[in-house]
Chains A and B, each alone.
Chain A
């Protein structure tokens, strides 16, 4: 079972390595969306630093959603998904491995680039470690929850828009605690509680979503 998962992970990473645009596009999207906020609201540091936490989290959410559309679609289109589901391993193994690769490719780069984005939005420096930690705990949850939607819309026409409709309401708790933790850190308040809740949501999502996405794939 571990071998199966490692094989999938290696295969998907190899596919990404040969199509680097898949990895870079969400990142560019993330930066672009964030660049729109100073243009749309105000370049004032006092205003931007107040909305920075929410803006970064919303942008991360949208970037994740955008890249999720392709999570199962390419494998579905070339038929390999069917073969992978026929393998003598539970379908959650497949989902978990693919989500892991998705997070490595779309979530991790966001976390690495977030300090620079935070500086551009004048987020106080002492809030940056919290921002990175909250993204580290939150983005895997986003990928896991999104996998359910991606599995449900696989093979449906116009899946991308549909995926957004299905999944955004489920992201509400993650964005509340993610963004609030950064805002609390910016005000110098303790953030342990937020981190604990984000971690709890991650653990809960790890238990439920691979099963749900796996059974959605088998429809």
Chain B
């Protein structure tokens, strides 16, 4: 009975095998590296040098080519971490916990970049590095959530228990993120002390919009690349001395 309901596609099973993930991830890795490099270079050069300046904000708007991808990634990485953790808990897949663990540092970095670039952009635009705007506040809380996950993951020495504990916290955090987001928005409308709001985006010309799309895609490639590298490193750590790895090394001569 369980088999018919819970039968997984084959690739899903295979992803759970450290050996298969190591090999398959290794073959994907260069492609993501090339894609990330190409997309980011193309998008950044286009966006920073050739896109037209904004008629209101002048050149300072160009920081969005870094800011927007970082802000998008900060949330998707947390979601990805929770999904990987849930997969690990439900199907008891160790590699999934490693993927979730790889998400922590990169996600926190993207969140910090989003906050930092937001502050730099805020100074010329709003006249202040920091305002208690709804988006800023919820991003700050997200950074705190990452800090909590990171602290928990490092405090528990047993890697398997740490993986499960991190997964539970990531799932609880993900359930909470929308609640936090909407409550912060409510709170912000109550305290109308700062009337700075990001106005609804006017339709951007393609010359401004397409570079953004490129840097967003490039950042997602960076994310996947980092996950692959870090997860494969963890596989090497935990599987050191495993049979397949010893043979693997002989073949590659590394």
Residues of A within 8 A of B (CB): 148, 152-153, 156-158, 162, 165-170, 172-173, 176-177, 180, 201, 208-209, 212, 215-216, 219
How many angstroms from the CA of A152 to the CA of B170 in the assembled complex? 12
Inter-subunit contact B183/A177 (CB<8 Å): yes
- Whether the Cβ atoms of B151 and A170 lie closer than 8 Å is no
Bound-complex Cα distance A212 to B176 (A): 13
Contact yes or no, B186 A176, CB < 8 A = yes
User: Which listed residue (B144, B145, B161, B172) contacts A219, Cβ 8 A?
Assistant: B161
Interface majority SS on A: helix, strand, loop or mixed?
A: helix
- Decide: B148 and A169 in contact? CB cutoff 8 A: yes
Name which of A169, A180, A215 has the most chain B CB atoms within 10 A of its CB: A169
CB distance from B146 to the nearest CB of A (A): 9
Known: A148-B172, A173-B179, A212-B172. A165 touches B141 (CB 8 A): no
Contacts of B155 in A (CB 8 A): 153, 156-158, 162
| Binding site secondary structure of chain B | helix
User: Quick one: which of B89, B172, B176 has the most chain A CB within 10 A?
Assistant: B172
Chain B positions near chain A (C-beta within 8 angstroms): 89, 141, 144-145, 147-148, 151-152, 155-156, 161, 164-165, 168-169, 171-173, 175-176, 179-180, 183-184, 186-187, 190
B169 touching A166 by the CB < 8 A rule?
A: yes
B180 touches A152 (CB 8 A): no
**Docked-complex contact B190 and A170, CB < 8 angstroms:** no
Query: How many angstroms from the CA of A177 to the CA of B186 in the assembled complex?
Result: 9
Question: CB-CB < 8 A to B175: which residues of A?
Answer: 208
- Is the pair A180, B152 in contact by a Cβ cutoff of 8 Å? no
Chain B, residue nearest A168 (CB): B144
Residues of B within 8 Å of A173, CB to CB, are 176, 179-180, 183
- 17 residue pairs of the A-B complex, CB under 8 angstroms, read A148-B168, A152-B152, A152-B168, A152-B169, A165-B147, A167-B148, A169-B144, A169-B173, A172-B184, A173-B179, A176-B184, A176-B186, A176-B187, A177-B183, A201-B179, A209-B172, A212-B168
Task: Specify which of B156, B164, B165, B180 is in contact with A169 (CB 8 Å cutoff).
Answer: B180
A201–B89 CA distance with the chains assembled, in angstroms = 26
Q: Are A166 and B152 in contact (CB under 8 A)?
A: yes
Contacts of A212 in B (CB 8 A): 168, 171-172
* Interchain CA distance A8-B183 in the complex, whole Å: 35
Which of A165, A172, A176, A215 contacts B168 (CB under 8 A)?
A215
- Name the CB-closest residue of A to B163: A219
* Bound: A215/B172 CA distance, A: 12
Partner of B164, one of A166, A209, A219: A219
Question: Which of B147, B171, B179 has its CB near the most chain A CB atoms (within 10 A)?
Answer: B179
When distances are taken between beta carbons in the complex, the residues of chain B under 8 Å from A170 are: 172-173, 176
Residues of A within 8 A of B151 (CB): 162, 165-166
Q: Is the CB of A180 within 8 A of B190?
A: yes
Interchain CB contact under 8 A, B183 and A162: no
Please name the residue on chain B nearest to A169 by beta carbon: B144
Q: Which of B156, B179, B180 is A156 in contact with, Cβ under 8 Å?
A: B156
Q: Of all chain A residues, which has the CB nearest B89?
A: A215
For the complex, what is the distance from the CA of A47 to the CA of B56, rounded to whole Å? 39
Q: State A167–B176 Cα separation when bound (angstroms).
A: 11
- CA A176 to CA B188, docked complex, whole Å: 10
Q: Which of B141, B155, B186 has the most CB of A within 10 A?
A: B155
- Complex CA gap A156/B151 in Å reads 11
Q: How long is the Cα–Cα vector from A170 to B179 in the complex, in angstroms?
A: 9
Q: How far apart sit A217 and B139, CA to CA, in the bound complex (Å)?
A: 30
